[in-house]
Amino acid sequence: MEEYIVNILKGSVLTMEVALGSLAVAVVLGLLGATAKLAQSKPLNWLAGIYSTVIRGIPDLVLMLLIFYGGQILLNKGLELVGYEEYIEINPFLAGVLTIGFIYGAYMTETFRGAIMAIPKGQMEAGYAFGMSKSRVFFHITVPQMIRLALPSFTNNWLVLIKATALVSILGLPDMTMLAKQAASAARDVTPLAPMLFFLFTGAIYLAITTVSLIVLKQLDKRYSMGVRRGEF
Amino acid sequence: MQFEVIFEPATLKLFGQGILVSLKLLFISVTIGAVLSIPMAIMRVSRNKWLSTPVWLYTYVMRGTPMLIQVYLIYYGVAQLEFVQSNWDTVPLLMPFKDALFCCVLAFTLNTCAYTTEMLAGAIRDTNHGEIEAARAMGMSRRQLMWRIVLPSALRRTLPAYSNEVIMMLHGTSLASTVPALMDITGAARSVYSDFYLPFEAFITAGAIYLVLTFTLVWGFKLAERRWLAYLQPRKA
């Protein structure tokens, strides 16, 4: 009994790794997507528009299966073309992180776009007037203000992302959900309540993760809105 | 790419049935979830702690755990328990657990109901205080106030957020494919993939179907908003 519980707890480390890894990918893609959507170039606008619309219109699970199984074939076909004969198996951890990151990058695109648009234009213009370069204005003027405006929707995306990591169990990654499912069927002889117990335990860990996230992000929100006066009523 | 395989009658039939299963799952769970969410939202905003705390706990737990775990808990958890399986032929309450579709619908309904309850409760809380004052001044009882003033407007104002929830649930029904014996759109794609080893064709087809359904829902809700939320529309210059 204890071994299963310890196992699931170990699996929660993998869940966190997948979640944080994909969050990093999603933030980078989101920033790229948001800048592309707001850029002065029509093709870039289109590309980012298609990315954020199509990805958000398809279930995560279908996209994961497509990228995981399809990517496998695509990679090997591509390697064959350049003359590499051996079959390469994609690391499921990497595939999971990249896929979830790719999906939530689309949600982050919308989050960051909204936040950037909410910053008064004069801020950026003032930066340019001081002779700052484009990237300098972006990282020193836009991003610090964007964080505050993006935080509420970022919090939402993060909470949905953590829960989406449960799907990597379907790709065969031994995260909490998969270990719980295995334990549920393996421990039936030990206790008749086993099937329920392990899922309840796993659910409780997810709940703990989301609760801690909420508390931390609330503190961050306080920190970043220090100089802002909210409408008081 | 070998999309011919997709357009073979047998595969088309598989996807066609998949669409029906997905829509059935979506329709049943969203309808029951929405109906149940109304009394729950009223309890959630109640000043009575004994009414509001249980609902808060329920929505907090459901919204803080993955829906996959909820589906597993019901299908691989409750429905696989020894005493449930040995009694489900005799105890009427346990009988539905034999059915995979019921297990999925139960998990989906509990999930969507929690999200809808929170949305609706938010809308009820945001009701303009003047409207409530006016209703009180007219001598309406608490019940009349709720049914005539607060709910009609709160239900309308929930519509934009609710359309997102329905689309999330459409995507959520893809989790039904993790339960054997249920062939929704994703399940059909997975079976085409394993039969022909054609991941692109199978999952791109499924993705395209979901996109069409998503856009149809978006369009439908836009019409609904034009009908019921016309008074909140920004005025055209």
Site from B25, B60, B65, B126 to mutate, A interface, most A CB atoms within 10 angstroms: B65
Q: What is the pLDDT of residues A180-198, one digit of tens each?
A: 988 888 877 777 777 788 9
Q: Which residue type does B45 have?
A: V
B200 touches chain A (CB under 8 A): yes
d(CA A216, CA B129): 33
Interchain proximity A69–B76, CB inside 8 Å: no
pLDDT digits (tens, 9 = 90+) for B120-157: 999 999 999 999 999 999 999 999 999 999 999 999 99
Q: Do A210 and B64 touch (CB under 8 A)?
A: yes
Residue appearing with tokens 């909420």: A214
Residue A173: what residue type?
Answer: L
Contact B73 A206 (CB under 8 A): no
Assembly ipTM? 0.89
Note the pLDDT of residue A172.
Answer: 86
Q: B69, A181: Cβ pair inside 8 Å?
A: no
Residue A208 has pLDDT above 70, yes or no: yes
Q: Where are the alpha helices (DSSP H) in chain A?
A: 2-38, 42-57, 60-65, 71-81, 92-117, 121-129, 134-137, 143-164, 176-186, 194-224
AA identity, residue A65: L
Q: Which of A66, A167, A207 comes nearest B64 by C-beta?
A: A207
Both tokens of residue B53? Answer: 């705390």
Question: Is B72–A199 a contact, with Cβ atoms under 8 angstroms apart?
Answer: yes
Is A231's pLDDT higher than 60?
no
pTM: 0.90
Touching check for B108 and chain A: CB below 8 Å? no
Q: Taking residues B220-237, what's their average pLDDT?
A: 85
The confidence band for B235, taking pLDDT boundaries of 50, 70 and 90, is confident
| Nearest-CB residue to A206 (from B66, B72, B174) | B66
Query: Could you tell me which residues come within 8 angstroms of residue B54 by beta carbon, excluding any fewer than 6 positions away?
Result: B43
Residue B78 at interface with chain A, using a CB cutoff of 8 Å: yes
Say yes or no: B203 contacts chain A, CB-CB below 8 A. Answer: yes
Chain B residues with beta carbon closer than 8 angstroms to that of A188:
80, 82
Per-residue confidence band for B237, with pLDDT thresholds at 50, 70 and 90: low
Distance from CA of A192 to the nearest CA of B (A): 6
Average pLDDT of A132-151?
A: 90
Q: What is the mean pLDDT of residues A8-16?
A: 92
- The full DSSP string for A20-82 is HHHHHHHHHHHHHHHHHHHSS-HHHHHHHHHHHHHHHHS-HHHHHHIIIIIHHHHHHHHHHHT
Does residue B231 surpass a pLDDT of 90?
A: no
Mean residue pLDDT of chain A comes to: 89
Cα–Cα distance measured from residue B83 to residue B139, given in angstroms and rounded to the nearest whole number = 55
Angle in degrees, 0-180, between the axes of helices B100-125 and B49-64, rounded to the nearest 10: 120
- Distance set, CA B209 to CA A59, B22, B198 (Å): 11, 11, 17
- Buried (b) or exposed (e) across A38-75, using 16+ Cβ within 10 A? eeeeeebeeebeebbeebbbbbbbbbbbbbbbbbbeee
The CATH superfamily of A2-224 is MetI-like (1.10.3720.10)
Structural domains in chain B, CATH included, are 3-232 (1.10.3720.10)
- Over residues B59-72, the pLDDT tens digits come to 999 999 999 999 99
Interface test mutation site (partner A, options B69, B167, B214, max chain A beta carbons within 10 A): B69
The verdict on a CB contact (< 8 Å) between A195 and B77 is yes
Does the pLDDT at position B178 exceed 60? yes
Select from B66, B77, B206 the Cβ nearest to the Cβ of A163.
B66
- Give the pLDDT of residue B136: 94
Q: Which of chain B's residues have a Cβ under 8 Å away from the Cβ of A63? A: 203, 207
